[in-house]
Amino acid sequence: EDQVTQSPEALRLQEGESSSLNCSYTVSGLRGLFWYRQDPGKGPEFLFTLYSAGEEKEKERLKATLTKKESFLHITAPKPEDSATYLCAVRGSNDYKLSFGAGTTVTVRA
């Protein structure tokens, strides 16, 4: 069974203080690692898909990287509007479903 573990559970940052979120995974035949952003009471909003080790994707202050066992979401010089829960999910070779981690809740203080 696919397993996704995210750390830390919560992260409090000062505006401009860069940091990284970790997603470690176990999956049979990775067919995609996905990062989503979720605001309170809302649905997950797609950010990135990574498919193979060494791949990197960037969007504004966010950069996602992938190794064979984990992914990192780097937040560079965050702003208060980056405050959200960041979810990591994987899809295995025999699956249609996404398996999600519990998320990291990021709070950025001005």
Which residues sit at the interface with another protein, rule CB under 8 A? 31-32, 34, 36, 41-46, 49, 51, 87, 89, 91, 95-103
C-alpha distance from residue 8 to each of 1, 14, 20, 51 (Å):
22, 16, 9, 23
Residue 18 CB, nearest approach to another protein (Å) = 27
CB 41 within 8 Å of CB 104: no
CB 106 within 8 Å of CB 86: yes
Kindly tell me which of 14 and 68 has the beta carbon lying closer to another protein. 68
Residue 23 CB, nearest approach to another protein (Å) = 13
Residue 53 CB, nearest approach to another protein (Å) = 15
Kindly tell me which of 25 and 34 has the beta carbon lying closer to another protein. 34
Amino acid identity for residue 13 in this structure = L
Kindly tell me which of 18 and 52 has the beta carbon lying closer to another protein. 52
Strand partners, 64: 57, 73
